[in-house]
A and B are shown apart, each in its own frame.
Chain A
Amino acid sequence: MKVTWVWSIAALALVAAACGGGADIEVADAWGRPSPSVAANGAFYMVITNNTDSADHLVAASSPACAVAELHESMMNDGVMGMAPVGPAGIEIPANSQTTLKVGGLHVMCIDKQAEFVAGDTFSVTLEFENAGTVDVEAEIKEG
């Protein structure tokens, strides 16, 4: 219970910091789906806002929850669903705009999960942007 509190406060503080306005890059609603430890991989989703006048790129991600984190995109080709790492340029966040990482599309692919993802847990995810540098977010585990 206490631990949950501490996490909630930490998450709130981070959200407050991220939403404090004025940050070059703001990340909102970072989340992942609950999944058992037998599921090797997971995915994190989020909404990334670029408040600057020039495009930025999310080029890498890491998290203690994942042995390796990669930037992926799921896509449908002729009715067949596939998933692949995004190109070396990363994920573009256009100037004064936002990019949404969401189910069935762009996601932070969490490879070789280091823990079971249980609803209510949070995991820190470090995002690296070409211009804005490093941004830390807390991803909440929840159903959709």
Chain B
Amino acid sequence: MNSIDLEPAEDHGSVPAVYVHHQHPVPDPGIEEHIERYTDANPAAGRRVYAQVVGMLALVPVMAIAVIVIYFAVPRQASIRLGPLYANAMNVGLGVTGGLMVALIGFAAIQWAKQIMGDEESVDYRHPILSSREDREEFLSMVDDGVRQSNLGRRRLIGAALMGALGVVAAPAVVLLSDMGPYATPSRIRATLEKTVWAEGVRLVNDVTYTPIKASEIEIGQLVNGEPEVIAHMEGAAKIEAIAKAAIIVVRMDPKSIRIPASRKNWQVGGILAYSKICTHVGCPISLWERTTHHLLCPCHQSTFDLGDSGVVIFGPAARSLPQLPITVDSEGYLVARSDFTVPVGPSFFERDSRHDFKKGDN
């Protein structure tokens, strides 16, 4: 009984031997005897299932009519309250009636198949997937005939030239994609990714009301979401692109409780500092401010920046400090930028020269 097969079959010469034991200590008892179903054995049960199936199908048109009635009769904005559920009445109505309409067809069909259709199992036989030796040989000889007829044997160059030609056709097809976008040349990168609309003298404005921010109006511990004033006059895509890079947060901290490096002494106004709002990780706008610790937490992946220490990363997956915007006040006491950011804002990109970002301990 303990038959040992040398597998695989002979035609795979280079394959290592696997010794497979198809030992069947318990002989195959063969397919189970068919047991008569309750619905076949008991005529009353059979009739019940029959009625169920027909009943379910009969409900389908009822549901369909309900769907149509609800569509026309229920006011669009009416709402419905079912216990904790508070929802649009038409949506719930259409969903419930439409869902039941469809599902009933399914339940009826399955019930029919399981309880009423004959349930004797049948057996199909499998044949090895690989073709028989004769088929293979016949096929290969047909291939040979074809190759001979094509005369490729004597005119070899045609084959190589055709392959080459087909390959070359792909090149223009790919090249046609080149106008999908501008090229990321160094000058274009400088003009786009590395530049924002901030410039010397641009006022900081509140990002909702667009009112300029007065230094004297910010209290210690307060955070204001800001934008450059020029944004107010922009629209559409240009505006969104500008916001995606220029958004800032303005915070006021007690100057005695924070560390201001010598190189950034005049980037702030009495403890008011402005930072890019765009996370240096993958660019989420950062928003969660903890006034006692001066920590700013990004809601996306929880990178945490210390605004009391030039925006260095103290936790999380971000690798670079938040860029700080140098600011001062104008003659009317409003906060204005001294220049654009000194390093590119937002997520890293390959061509970014990251040697000038602020690192912990820099001065």
A and B are interacting partners: no
- B residues sitting closer than 8 Å to A (CB atoms) are none
What is the interface of chain A, defined by CB distance below 8 A to chain B?
none
